[in-house]
Amino acid sequence: MTADLMQFNLEGKRALVTGGASGIGFGVCDLLVSSGATVAVNDLETSHHLSTALDALSVHPGKSFGVAGSVADAASVKTLVETTAEELGGLDYLINNAATPNTPAPIPPSDLDAMTESFWDTIIQTNLMSVFRMTHAAAPYLKASKGSVVSTASISAFGGGGSSLAYTTCKAGLLGLTRELARGLAPDVRVNSVAPGMVDSNWQCRFGDQNTSARDTVPLQRVGSPQDYAEAIVFLAASANYITGETLTVDGGWRA
């Protein structure tokens, strides 16, 4: 971690981070564990990132353990959450970060033929329904702890330009879901989301030379790091006690 990152004292706090083994998710896990929290790191069972992530997190004062499973699988979500809560003795923070572009390169919105039923189903189940299912399953534990939920949306939800029409639509839906879950779980649980811009990570979908693009279009003239987004997510999860139902744009001023 760099010296200028936000500092939190989260000793005794318990978190579940989906898609936590790489990218923004790992940045969140790293900040939580280095702040003293105990973190359940979720990723796919087939992911080779999980053991590597846990090794990297082991140097911090907090504790971490892996909970493999697909958040797109409705049958496994309840088990995933219950197993985590049992291991942790409850739950304070749920970070809904897992998502997929389901494509290695952006698909233009004019290519409607690429938006097959199967493509839509993968995107919806992973990027939208998973947030509802995970939050629904975690709600009793979060209510008991007066906890919080933060989900990872996307700047594309505001103006398009995501990896596909389906991806952008689901991220726009996530903004509405955030607001309604905040209403539904109030006053016990706060629910917010973060909308990232460009991300320096191993995301499946590649958008060309992001560094050059950022210098030309982003006021801060750089691509956001996982740590940049982790700070915003942990701030909303662990602090910001009078903020709920909001989506915080974190994009270096791209939309300014």
Q: Which domain holds residue 233?
A: 14-250
User: Does position 69 have pLDDT exceeding 50, yes or no?
Assistant: yes
Q: Report the share of the chain in percent with pLDDT over 70.
A: 96
What per-residue confidence (pLDDT) applies to 51?
A: 92
What does the chain come to in residues? 256
User: Does position 1 have pLDDT exceeding 60, yes or no?
Assistant: no
User: Does position 146 have pLDDT exceeding 50, yes or no?
Assistant: yes
Total number of domains constituting the chain: 1
Query: How do residues 7-49 score in pLDDT, each as one tens digit?
Result: 899 999 999 999 999 999 999 999 999 999 999 999 997 767 8
Q: Report the share of the chain in percent with pLDDT over 90.
A: 84
Is the residue at 149 inside a domain? yes
Is the residue at 109 inside a domain? yes
CA-CA distance, 155 to 181, in Å (whole number)? 20
Is the residue at 256 inside a domain? no
Where residue 92 falls among pLDDT bands split at 50, 70, 90?
very high
What per-residue confidence (pLDDT) applies to 141?
A: 98
pTM: 0.95
Is the residue at 177 inside a domain? yes
Is the residue at 6 inside a domain? no
Average pLDDT over residues 158-179: 96
Is the residue at 228 inside a domain? yes
What per-residue confidence (pLDDT) applies to 2?
A: 44
Average pLDDT over residues 220-224: 93
Q: Which residue has the higher pLDDT, 211 or 132?
A: 132
Catalytic residue among 93, 141, 167, 229, which? 167
| Order of strands across the sheet that contains 148-152 | 63-68, 38-43, 14-17, 93-96, 148-152, 190-196, 247-250
User: Does position 6 have pLDDT exceeding 90, yes or no?
Assistant: no
Is the residue at 8 inside a domain? no
Is the residue at 150 inside a domain? yes
As to burial, measured by CB atoms within 10 angstroms (0-12 exposed, 13-18 middle, 19+ buried), residue 117 is exposed
User: Does position 3 have pLDDT exceeding 60, yes or no?
Assistant: no
User: Does position 56 have pLDDT exceeding 60, yes or no?
Assistant: yes
Average pLDDT, the chain: 94
Active site (annotated) includes residue 167: yes
Average pLDDT over residues 156-174: 95
Q: Is 237 helix (H, G, I), strand (E, B) or coil?
A: helix
Q: List the CATH number of the domain containing 31.
A: 3.40.50.720
